[in-house]
Amino acid sequence: MRILFYDTKKYDRDSFEKVTEKYPEIEIEYTDTDINSKTANLAKGYKAICAFVSSDVGKETIDCLSKNGVELVLLRCAGFNNVDLEEAKKKNITVMRVPGYSPEAVAEHAMALALASSRRIHKSYIKVRENNFSLTGLTGTNLHGKIAGIIGTGKIGATMCRICRGFGMKVIAYDLYKNPELDFVEYLELDKLLNDSDLISLHCPLTEESYHMINKSSIAKMKDGVILVNTSRGALIRTEDLIHGIRDKKFFSVGLDVYEEETNNVFENREDDILETSITARLLSFPNVIVTSHQGFLTNEALESISITTFENAMSYLNGNLIENNVVM
């Protein structure tokens, strides 16, 4: 099977090349170009393509892939909101993902954002590099004894619940489905969680229902001085409303590893998808905000897991086996 690997970064190639010899049936070629409706023609002659969560695998892209003989879309990520699943099904294109590559990697990064932002580590780092050891403006807040509100308790959210418990926090959660493994977590309605939490961490998928779930109305229900962390999907938060909330001093700190400007294909019919230029830069102008570059997944362990699972997905398709990682089959 020949696979075209779109949007290749050095860490992608390195991690996949480490395990490629175990899969002699598979041949991967790499390109720096990301996939969209215009670059999908590069896949002519390939049976499969490999894409990331920010890639454009919408209707036009799927149509082009189908015309070029592509049968399989391998997502090297858990999310699939960037894929037109209905069109893929119509074109008999199988879509597979990596649902649980390393929940610890993302959850640990979420806690790192909570700690770094709330203890002003980013400000301290910059000051000390300039030989300024003044403590002015660096006063933080404890997490111990506070309430952590976790929205979404799948594998990553559940791991975040355990981390927060280890910090001595009371853990509450909101999810449509309760996780039976989290017997120490109290599940509440979303409004109650927003009202009670000192730390709110988002770990839910992006759907029509969850799109902009953090907005002017939901922010108003939060405690003053709340810590907000998002390592899931940028469009869970309406950025303009978040900026207004930061200006109004609603948040003690904000940590983001994802943001709306990452992709333009969130829900293309939404009028309010159009963001002002450099809205992320506006977020970075606030001293209590930390933005990282969607690196929550970026650990050696997670990259190895992503590589192996992606190869195994390709092999299962090649051998005609249907497994749980299929999104469309």
Whether residues 76 and 107 fall in one domain: no
Whether residues 151 and 280 fall in one domain: yes
Whether residues 115 and 236 fall in one domain: yes
Q: DSSP 3-state assignment of 227?
A: strand
- pTM for the full model? 0.87
Whether residues 127 and 221 fall in one domain: yes
> What is the reported pLDDT for 270?
43
Mean pLDDT by 10 residues, the chain (329 residues): 96 95 96 95 96 91 97 91 92 92 94 98 96 96 98 96 98 96 98 98 93 97 98 94 97 95 49 52 91 94 95 93 67
Domain that holds residue 271: 103-291
Active-site residue identified among 97, 109, 238, 294: 294
**Number of domains the chain contains:** 2
Long-range contacts, stretch 313-317, CB < 8 angstroms, 24+ apart: 313/74, 313/96, 313/97, 313/98, 314/1, 314/3, 314/23, 314/26, 314/48, 314/72, 314/74, 314/96, 315/23, 315/25, 315/26, 316/96, 317/48, 317/71, 317/72, 317/94, 317/96
How many CA within 13 A on the CB side of residue 105?
A: 18
Whether residues 35 and 78 fall in one domain: yes
| Strand 186-187 with 170-174, pairing | parallel
Whether residues 95 and 226 fall in one domain: no
Active-site residue identified among 87, 233, 238, 260: 233
> What is the reported pLDDT for 326?
76
> What is the reported pLDDT for 323?
67
Name 192's Cβ contacts closer than 8 Å, sequence gap at least 6: none
Measure the CA–CA gap between 187 and 158, rounded to whole angstroms: 12
Both structure tokens of 245: 């909330």
A 10 A CB-CB count for 229 gives 28
Q: Is 233 a catalytic residue?
A: yes
Whether residues 306 and 221 fall in one domain: no
Active-site residue identified among 71, 104, 262, 312: 262
Q: Is 294 a catalytic residue?
A: yes
Judge whether 113 and 256 are in contact, CB under 8 Å: yes
Whether residues 144 and 131 fall in one domain: yes
Whether residues 73 and 196 fall in one domain: no
> What is the reported pLDDT for 272?
47
> What is the reported pLDDT for 322?
66
Taking Cα atoms as reference points, which of 171, 201, 197, 200 lies closest to residue 183?
Answer: 171
Whether residues 92 and 185 fall in one domain: no
Whether residues 116 and 230 fall in one domain: yes
Say which CATH number the domain at 77 has.
3.40.50.720
Whether residues 30 and 172 fall in one domain: no
Q: Is 71 a catalytic residue?
A: no
